[in-house]
Structure 1
Amino acid sequence: MSAPLADRIRPQTLDEVVGQTHLLAPGKPLRTIIESGQIPNLIFYGPSGVGKTTLARLIAGQTNKKLYKLNGTSASTADIKAIIDQVNTISSYQGILLYLDEIQYLNKKQQQSLLEHIENGNITLIASTTENPYFYIYNAILSRSTVFEFRPIEPQEAARAVTRAFQKMEEELDSPIRLEEGVAEFIGQACGGDVRKSLNTVELCVLATRVDEAGGRLVTLETARELAQKSAMKYDRQGDEHYDLLSALQKSIRGSDPDAAVHYLGRLLEAGDLLSPCRRLLVIASEDIGMAYPLAITIVKACVDSAVQLGLPEARIPLAEAAVLLATSPKSNSSYMAINQAMADIRAGKGGTFPRQLQNKHFDGAEREVKGQNYQYPHDFPNHYIKQQYLPDDLKDTVYYHYGENKNEQAAKAYWDKIKK
């Protein structure tokens, strides 16, 4: 029992793999590819503990190729070269299958060293990564591989694996194991779709439970609660889940769903991340609420300042107030769109000059026919407005800002339509 339970109970067939039915159900493309025996270069992308390594090992076992395994966190250039040197040798005359776990940790040069050999078929690559492959894997490797995305395991599927794990522990210990009602379901739910953590929790629960007078063990729900690792609440602040949570928070607020907004905010805060949601809420106030409720940014800033001063766990209270306020506020992205379009013109090289009346000059050269700056001070005119050109000549008729269809902006539009006639 020296190896972790997750390794001792690892599936031996495709049908034993938990979850990933979108890839492995009969008739699905990946299963069909595996059953054909003709394995192309594959990249498995998804969170930890969802079966990427297990499936790669199952595939390797079905081929006649020489199998090599490397982990990107520890593999060196010499390790990769040693495998390449085995190409076309007697021991690998049927080809090499390289299983490369955590490929995102290899640098570009290391990945490039494999390129020639996976292209000509001397090496078949099966790589796994927890990070978005389109950001972390060399494009030439991607173009020669097929990417399959693995999903977190659903709680009911995880509970099935948990039940099997308790049965395995019972066999190994040769001692009856009884579960309080709801233990398997709780562990499957609490470990957030990570089967490996679910199985580790099973092992901990069994080892932490005393043998009773009858020679058995009763695993209680309280023990499961104490030992379950809440991986759904933990995440790498530099990884995909960090940005997925921030994206989900903003899209929920933009979609005016306060319940989803506080859920994703809660997940960020439960992971101990205070700064990221503070920054994102400030962005949302201007990007998605904007001119429909301009005071939102002021209120959100006050909530953020309070949260930073309070620290966690109390910071959750003003931040929840900010999230609910933004989710239930009217929405407008008119100013956001205006600045984006203006900056697009600037990047395109437009508007490099200034109208003469806007310049900070009071001297005209001899070549200028019309003398004087000719700036008209709006406060000297009725309603503090006088029509004159402000945009550069090549953009003078451009309209960037379009009034949003909300009460606040429509009131402003009506006012200026009347003044400007």
Structure 2
Amino acid sequence: MTLFDPPAPLAERLRPRTVTEVVGQSHLLGPGRPLTRVLASGRLGSLILWGPPGVGKTTLARLLAGEVGAHFIPLSAVSAGVKDIREAVTEAERLRGRGTRTILFLDEIHRFNKAQQDALLPHVESGLLTLIGATTENPSFEVNPALRSRARTLVLQALTPDDLLGLLRRALSDERGLQGVQADEGALTLLARLADGDARRALGTLEVAATLANPVTEEAVTEAFGRHLPSMDKGGEDFYNLISALHKSVRGSHPDAALYWLARMVAGGADPLYVARRVVRMAAEDIGLADPQALRVCLAAKDAVEFLGSPEGDLALAQAVVYLCLAPKSNSVYTAWKAALNAVDGENLAVPVHLRNAPTQFMRDQGYGRGYRYYFDDPAGSFEQRYLPEGVDLHLYAPRDEGWEARASERWRKLMTLHAASPAGPVTAGETGST
């Protein structure tokens, strides 16, 4: 081993050599579990392995290929293309003539576009290639339906702290690991917690910590770990799950949870202006007329984010989120708006003549605006006229009994009573009010 020929990283050296050495995933590899049954039958079909980073997707694919005696071709969708698929097909055809099956492992399969994924279809369908795709993104969104239908999706879970603790202990005792290095039990426990279910991160951090102290201490682990930003693919499922968690925490009036999810997004690199737009939406959707001031607060926070940028503008976002959590809640306008959109879907009913605009004499001669009762001239008459198309009877808005809206609900009830007493049609033609 020389300076120019360094050893492989600890995580690579400790890759399991057999399925029995795999840490975690007992829901797939335990007695009677799906992969255990598949391996016992010797018939391995195409798979999509979906799970967070560092849980062993690549390792499991290699081991499965070895267990069924198949040739293993690894590709990464980050750098591979259709040309690489053609070469894999050629190799698989050559090996099939010798009675050997081929497993094509495609890491980060979600990086392949539709055309690239479609190029795999005929060869997966014919059985020439057994595909094992690995992805950290939800296959429902990132993998073509045609390809998904030809592969079984298995969900891999983040490793538990106990799983990682066992793996770290193995790293100190295994001949392929860090022989001669010792570690305090508290340091290993801390690292197992900090690694957030990622075996690669845990082993990599242990390897660095071992260069800082022997035995490895909690201080060495903290220094080696550094400041870890939460994992978040800004266009992937995790991003939208964080937004969902933030929105639901606001709706549930839980400021601590809302601040936590907001911090996760900001620390993970989310665009603060995008987050601000979503916060403005929350004010309109879930606070609404219970506190009309909430929308202004959130728009001001959006302006602050635009003016100050990050991190200064982040505080304005935090202020807006806490305000929304503490505010009374009402989705009455949101509900009414959705109902209104459903009511007009496919409809093109004529505007009643008395409500039509009449800017020209010709229009007035056609009767436009005739019979309209102007509220300020004739308050009682304005309530006696119809405001919906003939034959349409809708009840869309109903106030909630929270905040400002609760105080306004009495006026709403009075107005509805006045409108309910109006005649079925417009007032008598010939009576013309102001426009």
TM value normalised by structure 1: 0.87
- How far apart, CA to CA, are the structure 2 residues paired with 1:90 and 1:164? 37
Q: Give the alignment partner of residue 415 of structure 1, picking from 393, 404, 411.
A: 411
Asked whether the 8 Å contact 1:191–1:232 carries over to 2, the reply is no
**2:307 equivalent to 1:296:** no
Q: Give the alignment partner of residue 372 of structure 2, picking from 352, 368, 375.
A: 375
Q: Give the alignment partner of residue 237 of structure 1, picking from 225, 228, 234.
A: 234
Matches within 5 A, 1:166-205: 166-168=172-174, 174-175=179-180, 177-205=181-209
Q: Give the alignment partner of residue 35 of structure 2, picking from 30, 40, 64.
A: 30
Which string of whole-angstrom CA distances, capped at 9 and with x for unpartnered residues, describes residues 318-344 of structure 1? 333322222233322221122223233
Which string of whole-angstrom CA distances, capped at 9 and with x for unpartnered residues, describes residues 167-225 of structure 1? 34x865653x232452112222222222111111111111334xxxxxxx222222211
**2:402 equivalent to 1:398:** no
Matches within 5 A, 1:308-327: 308-327=306-325
Shifted more, 358-367 versus 127-136: the winner is 358-367
**2:274 equivalent to 1:270:** no
- How far apart, CA to CA, are the structure 1 residues paired with 2:85 and 2:293? 58
Q: Give the alignment partner of residue 46 of structure 1, picking from 46, 51, 63.
A: 51
**2:165 equivalent to 1:165:** no
Asked whether the 8 Å contact 2:356–2:368 carries over to 1, the reply is no
Q: What amino acid sits opposite 2:259 in the alignment?
A: V
Change (3 A) 1:110 1:313: closer
CA RMSD of aligned residues (A): 2.8
Asked whether the 8 Å contact 2:301–2:317 carries over to 1, the reply is yes
Residue 216 of structure 2: aligned partner: 219
Residue 214 of structure 1: aligned partner: none
Asked whether the 8 Å contact 1:383–1:419 carries over to 2, the reply is no
Asked whether the 8 Å contact 2:165–2:192 carries over to 1, the reply is yes
- How far apart, CA to CA, are the structure 1 residues paired with 2:185 and 2:208? 18
Residue 212 of structure 1: aligned partner: none
Asked whether the 8 Å contact 1:296–1:326 carries over to 2, the reply is yes
Q: Give the alignment partner of residue 15 of structure 2, picking from 2, 7, 10.
A: 10
Shifted more, 319-328 versus 57-66: the winner is 319-328
- How far apart, CA to CA, are the structure 2 residues paired with 1:24 and 1:232? 31
Which string of whole-angstrom CA distances, capped at 9 and with x for unpartnered residues, describes residues 255-278 of structure 1? 222222111112122224333332
Residue 133 of structure 1: aligned partner: 139
Asked whether the 8 Å contact 2:171–2:177 carries over to 1, the reply is no
Shifted more, 382-391 versus 183-192: the winner is 382-391
Structure possessing the higher radius of gyration over alpha carbons = 2
SS for the counterpart of 1:126 is: strand
- How far apart, CA to CA, are the structure 2 residues paired with 1:320 and 1:83? 51
Q: Give the alignment partner of residue 19 of structure 1, picking from 15, 24, 49.
A: 24
Q: What amino acid sits opposite 1:300 in the alignment?
A: C
Residue 57 of structure 1: aligned partner: 62
Asked whether the 8 Å contact 1:290–1:332 carries over to 2, the reply is yes
Change (3 A) 1:282 1:364: same
Residue 213 of structure 1: aligned partner: none
In structure 2, runs of 5+ residues without a counterpart are: 1-5, 418-435
In structure 1, runs of 5+ residues without a counterpart are: 210-216
Q: Give the alignment partner of residue 360 of structure 1, picking from 357, 362, 366.
A: 357
Asked whether the 8 Å contact 2:50–2:136 carries over to 1, the reply is yes
- How far apart, CA to CA, are the structure 1 residues paired with 2:234 and 2:385? 50
Q: What amino acid sits opposite 1:119 in the alignment?
A: E
Which string of whole-angstrom CA distances, capped at 9 and with x for unpartnered residues, describes residues 263-310 of structure 1? 111212222433333222211111112122222222233344445545
Residue 101 of structure 2: aligned partner: 95
Asked whether the 8 Å contact 2:50–2:135 carries over to 1, the reply is yes
Which string of whole-angstrom CA distances, capped at 9 and with x for unpartnered residues, describes residues 111-162 of structure 1? 1122122223222111111122122211110111111222322233223322
Change (3 A) 1:345 1:30: farther
Q: What amino acid sits opposite 2:289 in the alignment?
A: M
State the shift of 1:247 in Å. Answer: 1.1
Shifted more, 227-236 versus 110-119: the winner is 227-236
Residue 335 of structure 2: aligned partner: 337
Q: What amino acid sits opposite 1:276 in the alignment?
A: Y
SS for the counterpart of 1:30 is: helix
Give the paired residue count.
410
Change (3 A) 1:66 1:181: closer
State the shift of 1:96 in Å. Answer: 1.9
Q: Give the alignment partner of residue 256 of structure 2, picking from 249, 256, 259.
A: 259
Which string of whole-angstrom CA distances, capped at 9 and with x for unpartnered residues, describes residues 31-80 of structure 1? 32233321121101122111111111111111122222211111121211
TM value normalised by structure 2: 0.84
Residue 78 of structure 1: aligned partner: 83
Q: Give the alignment partner of residue 114 of structure 1, picking from 116, 120, 134.
A: 120
Change (3 A) 1:156 1:325: farther
Q: Give the alignment partner of residue 68 of structure 1, picking from 62, 65, 73.
A: 73
Asked whether the 8 Å contact 1:45–1:129 carries over to 2, the reply is yes
Which string of whole-angstrom CA distances, capped at 9 and with x for unpartnered residues, describes residues 347-381 of structure 1? x3214643333332245769987564332222334
Change (3 A) 1:278 1:154: farther
Q: What amino acid sits opposite 1:179 in the alignment?
A: A
